Amino acid sequence: MVFFGLFNLINLRMNLSVVIVAMTQKVNMTIDDGTIVEKQDFDWDSKTQGLILSKWTPVYERSFLASIAYMGNYAGTIGAMLLSGV
């Protein structure tokens, strides 16, 4: 379960970066009748994009460190049980 949780967190972090690039990049499309359409969902500068990404990252780091600490405690308990013969 911890693996799937970390897997989901990493995927969400990567997808956020990809989505920000896709939403802020200008795209020109030419329709069959020759009309050129310029599409851009959000007009964010690099500072705004950095703020959005910075709000996401600390939560990821805290949960990642907490999961590593929990896995270490759990592995230590199992190892101690095996060594002590319990």
Q: Say if residue 11's pLDDT is above 70.
A: yes
- Asked if pLDDT for residue 52 goes beyond 80, the answer is no
Residue 86 has pLDDT above 60, yes or no: no
- Count of domains observed in the chain: 1
Tokens of 48: 């705004």
Q: What residues make up the domain containing 70?
A: 2-84
Question: Is the pLDDT at 8 greater than 80, yes or no?
Answer: yes
For residue 59, the model assigns a pLDDT of: 64
What's the pLDDT at 61? 66
The structure's pTM equals 0.34
User: What's the average model confidence in pLDDT over 34-45?
Assistant: 71
Cα–Cα distance for residue pair 52/49, rounded to 1 Å: 5
